[in-house]
Structure 1
Amino acid sequence: MPAHVVVPVDDSDRSVDALEFACTEYPEAKITALHVLDPGDFYAASGVEGGAMANYQEIQRHYESRGEGILDRSRDRAAEYDVEIETEQVVGGVSRSIVDYVEGHDADHIVIGSHGRTGASRILLGSVAESVARRSPVPVTIVR
């Protein structure tokens, strides 16, 4: 039985499914909902063109605030299962940040949704769950 389970969360139904799975299967474990802010999203939203940049810091604050909302909803969802979770928000490449977090925080299991991204972005960028499963030093459960 895992002692510390990390559940990457975003605003997708699959990440909610993964959190619910972790709460039901590992209610005695320490569960951390991890939200990763990808700085590439900040640049895309800021409209970087020819070196000109919109207010990058304001856009980053917007994404951080949105991430806090995702983490708040994750805490509320876990409470529905009578499970208290920890939450963390980090900035970086999504799959790399998840693996780095696990390595740096003595986690021994990852529960991840099968796909948070949809459509062309999933095909072009590859599956985060696949990348995490390939790189992870600990067992990974992919929830569909």
Structure 2
Amino acid sequence: MADRILVPYDGSPQATEALELAFENFPDAAVIALYVIEIPVGRWAQIVGPELQLPVTERMREYAADVLESASEIATEHGRSLETEIVTGEPDHRIVAQAEEKSADLIVIGSHSQAGVSRLLLGSVAEKVVRRSPVSVLVVR
């Protein structure tokens, strides 16, 4: 059984299903909802200063907090507590890194399939997480 579960959460129906599945199927596990503020690859060149400050606006942080507040409401509905985290960067890399940093032993992620694209079963982020993760990954469709 999983003791610590990381759930990437962006407020989408797939992410909501992943969060609810984590609560319902792992009643004794600590659950962490993670929101990744995506920094597009081309924007990395705009990082300045010795501390490498990422170009993230206060509005982006507020939006992320609002999304995670909805995750906290879902946790309350299930009678569970929820830890939340906001990070910046490329989503697949940050999800894997957070799983390691938080000592998660399972990632539960929603699949974002896109019609007309060759990857019909997994969204690109979910697929990359599955490939890179050092811990087990449960993909919710």
Aligned residues: 129
- Deviation string for 1:99-141 (max 9, x for gaps)? 00111111100000011x7568997xx6111110110101100
CA distance in 1, matches of 2:24, 2:17: 11
* Matching residue within 51, 58, 63 for 1:61: 58
Q: Deviations for 1:14-66, whole angstroms, at most 9, x for unmatched residues?
A: 0000000000011211100000001229x5xxxx9xxxxxxx96x62111111
Q: Could you say what secondary structure the match of 1:33 adopts? A: strand
1:130 aligns to 2:124 (yes or no):
no
Residue 143, structure 1, aligned to residue 140, structure 2: yes
Equivalent position of 2:87 in the other structure: 90
4+ residue runs of structure 1 moved beyond 2 angstroms?
117-123
Letter in 1 for 2:105: D
Corresponding residue SS for 1:82: coil
CA distance in 2, matches of 1:118, 1:69: 26
CA distance in 2: counterparts of 1:3 and 1:30, whole angstroms: 6
Give CA deviations for 1:83-111 in whole Å, capped at 9, x if unaligned: 11100000110000000011111110000
Q: CA RMSD in A?
A: 2.6
Corresponding residue of 1:3? 3
Conservation of the 8 A alpha-carbon contact between 2:11 and 2:70:
no
Q: Normalised by the size of structure 1, how large is the TM-score?
A: 0.80
- Could you list the runs of 5+ residues in structure 2 that have no partner in the other structure? 47-53
Structure 1: gaps spanning 5 or more residues: 49-55
Correspondence for 1:36: 36
TM-score, structure 2 as length reference: 0.82
Task: Please tell me the residue identity of whatever aligns with 1:91.
Answer: T
Structure 1 position 81, deviation (Å): 0.7
